[in-house]
Amino acid sequence: MTAKYATTCGVCSNRVSPGEEIARAGTGWGHVACADAAPAAGRPAATAPARAKKPARPDMPAPDGALEVWTDGACSGNPGPGGWAWATQDGRRGAGGESPTTNQRMEIRAALEAVRSLDGPLVVVSDSTYVVNCFRDRWWKGWIDRGWVTSAKKPVVSRDLWEPLITLVNERGDVSFRWVKGHSGDAMNDLVDALAVEQAQAVA
């Protein structure tokens, strides 16, 4: 099902925009991917207080000599016109847009295009917990083991983007992911955000 109103994911605490796919996550609602990794409804954790506040999970280890690439996606309307972008500190960039699309698809597309475009060890820096957690927490393995179905028995959303990204990352073996909080003063995150918004406006 899709969200009718803007709300907050009960798992990752990030924004859920109207039109985004949602699913039951514990006793609430959240992003489909977050719900996939959360305890099923009616199945409380063994120790509720421990579940209430988890310690921060460590970042994925960065490959030796890795190049950092920042990625971001943007969408107006969700679904609506959207854009994606990636950039490195040495000036390399990529960006594009399409319509209609969703914010989550643009986040995945940005990471996919970055990994496709850049050779050598990489750290993909993204403000999307959906993208980062897929690799850090190995959500992709469960999806593949179940035949691209989530634990909620729903087809994985945006498989057409996830499958080539997951395949490429696993084939390369030299790509890791790191989360950065959006709009927190990170100059490179702000740059790719602006580039993605610009692309979304261009296809509106």
Q: Which residues are catalytic?
A: 72-73, 107, 127, 183, 193
List strand residue ranges (DSSP E) for 26-179, in order.
28-31, 67-75, 80-88, 93-101, 122-126, 175-179
DSSP state of 184: S
CA distance 115 to 164: 10
For 1, 45, 70, 88, the CA distances from 67, given in Å and listed in that order, are 38, 39, 10, 8
Angle, alpha carbons 179-55-115 (nearest 5°): 20
